[in-house]
Structure 1
Amino acid sequence: MSTVGGAQLGKSGAQANLGAGAPVLPKDLSARSWIVADAESGDVLASHNAHWRLPPASTLKMLFADTLLPKFPKTQKHKVQLSDLAGIGAGSSMVGIKEEETYTVHDLWLGVFLKSGNDAVHVLSAMNGGVDRTVKDMNARAEELQALDTNVVSPDGYDEKKQVSSAYDLTLFARSGLQNEDFREYCSTVRADFPGETKKNKKGKTTRKSFEIQNTNRLLAGDAGLDAYKGIAGVKNGNTTNAGATFTGVAERDGKVLLVTVMNPQKTEHNEVYKETAKLLDWGFQASGKVSPVGELVPPKSAKTSAQPGAGASGEAGGSGDDRGSSKPVAASASTDGSSGVGIALGIAGGVLVLLAAGVFLINRRWPLPELMRRRR
């Protein structure tokens, strides 16, 4: 395996350096690969086959979003053509996009994050110059992030020959994406309204109603027999035949923010990937400060270390610029036309900035991440 992030991450099996008073790792984990990392410092607290190259399923959409989100204003509108929806794999998850209908970029990203809609991915890819161009852009972005286990073949994560990533790389994608205000909003939205199909009534009047969509991240939305995880604030789930279930989650507790990625649990119990993620999050919060890191989440290749709070970068997420370096506090709302939405409070931690657009990335220091998500039910 690769040793990006440290030699111990290149070893097979579970890796943890337990100190005095540290809890033992959960005993009943079945995932082929997983990682627990401090999202702000980048310290990897524990891992299991962190660099195994495995099919990523829709968790690859985190890289898709990190690559394309800065390119289009969220208010931009696009009328969908039949060609935009070409090449979507059989059995794909879909949000329900219709040709000849017009959607905002904001609508499309809700479809990507909440319903893992491959149709939304293909429309955004078409806006970016096509699937081939988007795949090229995503592979270039992965290389810039030093996610060297990753090879993108399809931008939506659909099973394709030679399409692989790793728990380590997926965690890098999440960490990078979460520095974007819009990424944080979309991945933490539980439910939203999505535009439906334009129809004519008997009198010839056209109407277009919306329908509710709910996030398929079960640690965020909850499910039968599974409560939403306390402090969860995203990120992305996936499931395909080859990949099995995959998931990357970010959660905050008592000022500590952790990222956990779990790939392909071998147990077949319902929601197993979320249950194993919750166990690893619980362990990470208990172990924080009581373990020595087994490695680190590396910065992008072009990054430089900096400790200059107050430096800013131009542009806003979803606008003409890229807010990976935005210094403004965030008070974003995912509410959509009434009580069906969910409010989220997103704060800027510390006051130290990450300016990826300017080539500056803080190593082993705090960086912007969501605070504990407060839901409005």
Structure 2
Amino acid sequence: MAVQQGKLGRRWAAVVLAAALATSTFATPASAATVPCPHDAAANVDHPPLPAHPAADHYQRAIGGRRLDTPGLVVPGKGARPPAVSATSWLVADLDTGEILGSCGPHEYAAPASVQKLLLAATFVGRLDPNQLITVTPGDLDIPPDSSMVGLVPGGRYRVETLWLGLLLQSGNDAANVLARLGGGTVARGVAAMNAEAARLGAYQTHAVTPSGYDGPGQFTSAYDLALIARACFADDAFRRYTATRTAYMPAQPPKYKGFAFQNQNQLLYEYPGAIGGKTGFTDLARHTYVGAAQRGNRRLVVTLLGAESWPQAGWEQGVALLNWGFGLPTGTSVGNLVEPGQAPPTPRPSPSPSAAAAVAAVPAVVNDPGWTPATTIAVGVLGIVGIGLLAGVTRWIRRPRRR
């Protein structure tokens, strides 16, 4: 029995040593320490609990660059510190190059509220004929009474373009239901198509339950995913025209309903030079969410933020502060990138080990990694070789015949 215990002890020693070597070999310097995000102390409130979401997947959290696998701040080494905001997570990126200028908790889960309507647009704006005349059904208006609505009526006849304007300017949940039904055949199939589009874009931390962003169990997104979705939207000519429209008109539905004008709720368009569009959102669970984009010269930036409070700064004003910070950084500044559709496979190859560090290290080369330098790579390789040699020596020592 004593001999068996001795053998078992030596075996456990080898296992522990191997685990230690693996940890030291694959640990990522970029994720070694979490830098707190600048937070607006004036908005020190208790945030509602996060929506139910999957466990942290360190492969998916490293999409766009290993430095992005952090709940904290990731910014370039040089340049001004980003402004303090109340948002729990945010991201600033270049719409054209896909370079991420900086972020706070880029892959942290949060509820989307109405910025989820951008995923609806990314899915169907290029598939539906804007001139098609459709009829609203009573089922299209089966939405909670506290929903935001643009004022569609049962039996009303509207062009698809009018529905897009009602969705993006006035955040109409009634318009969201109609567009999801038109695109998918039913609202449920429309939502399924939205989730398929999110996966195609590489937005693996996004799951829609409602087409409008109205809170539902199992519905979530991240600041990084929102940036992927927004980038896809702004690549479409029709979307850019819709989101930049300030005032639109809802046609009369005689004999009972008169026509009326409605305005874009995104204050960025009225207050920020160079603004090109975006989307606002709010629910009790999500708090204030926001996506905004602007152009200076040949540079177009987008900001996404989640979990913000409206005081002392509204969500769009926090977006302005972050856009100003981003435009102040040199062109080419990057801490990561927005992947192209299909660039990041949904599962790593080879499959990651249960270790979070090893999972991050298993991200394939197509995912940009600005956090690793050639010197770091060589150092890690040397550590790995030394570790393997040491482990082999320990194993031979354990297996060496012993005198009894």
TM bucket normalised to smaller: 0.7 to 0.9
> 5 Å matches for 1:157-306?
157-199=213-255, 209-221=258-270, 228-266=271-309, 268-269=311-312, 272-289=314-331, 292-301=333-342
Pairwise CA distance, 1:237? 1.1
| Other-structure match for 2:93 | 37
Aligned partner (choices 65, 76, 81) of residue 24 of structure 1: 81
Pairwise CA distance, 1:126? 2.2
Question: Which consecutive residues of structure 2, in runs of 5 or more, have no partner in the other structure?
Answer: 1-55, 345-367, 369-404
CA contact (8 A) 2:164 2:175 kept: yes
| Other-structure match for 1:140 | 196
CA contact (8 A) 1:196 1:211 kept: yes
> 5 Å matches for 1:113-128?
113-128=168-183
The structure in which a higher percent of residues are strand is: 1
Q: Which amino acid aligns with 2:297?
A: D
Question: Which consecutive residues of structure 1, in runs of 5 or more, have no partner in the other structure?
Answer: 201-207, 222-227, 304-362, 364-377
Distance 1:232 1:89 in 2: 32
1:4 aligns with 2:63: yes
Point out the more displaced range, 77-86 or 137-146.
77-86
Q: Which structure: larger Rg?
A: 2
CA contact (8 A) 2:288 2:310 kept: no
CA contact (8 A) 2:136 2:155 kept: yes
Number of equivalenced pairs = 285
Distance 1:148 1:239 in 2: 22
Pairwise CA distance, 1:23? 1.9
Listed one character per residue, the Cα deviations across residues 157-179 of structure 1 (whole Å, up to 9, x for unaligned) are 00111100011111111100111
The structure in which a higher percent of residues are helix is: 2
Q: Which amino acid aligns with 1:197?
A: Q
| Other-structure match for 1:366 | none
CA contact (8 A) 2:309 2:315 kept: no
Runs ≥4 residues deviating over 3 A: none
Distance 1:233 1:217 in 2: 10
Pairwise CA distance, 1:183? 0.6
Q: Which amino acid aligns with 1:142?
A: A
TM-score by length of 1: 0.73
Secondary structure of the residue that 2:167 maps to in structure 1? helix
Q: Which amino acid aligns with 1:80?
A: V
Distance 2:339 2:260 in 1: 41
Secondary structure of the residue that 2:126 maps to in structure 1? helix
Secondary structure of the residue that 1:53 maps to in structure 2? coil
Secondary structure of the residue that 1:173 maps to in structure 2? helix
Aligned partner (choices 99, 106, 112) of residue 167 of structure 2: 112
| Other-structure match for 1:89 | 144
Distance 1:127 1:25 in 2: 42
TM-score by length of 2: 0.68
Listed one character per residue, the Cα deviations across residues 91-136 of structure 1 (whole Å, up to 9, x for unaligned) are 1110000011100101111110110100011112222311110111
Distance 2:218 2:311 in 1: 25
Pairwise CA distance, 1:197? 3.3
Secondary structure of the residue that 2:85 maps to in structure 1? coil
Pairwise CA distance, 1:25? 1.5
Distance 1:110 1:7 in 2: 38
Pairwise CA distance, 1:236? 1.1
- Percentage of matched positions with identical amino acids: 39
CA root-mean-square deviation: 1.7
Distance 1:233 1:144 in 2: 25
Pairwise CA distance, 1:266? 4.1
Distance 2:192 2:115 in 1: 18
Secondary structure of the residue that 2:292 maps to in structure 1? strand
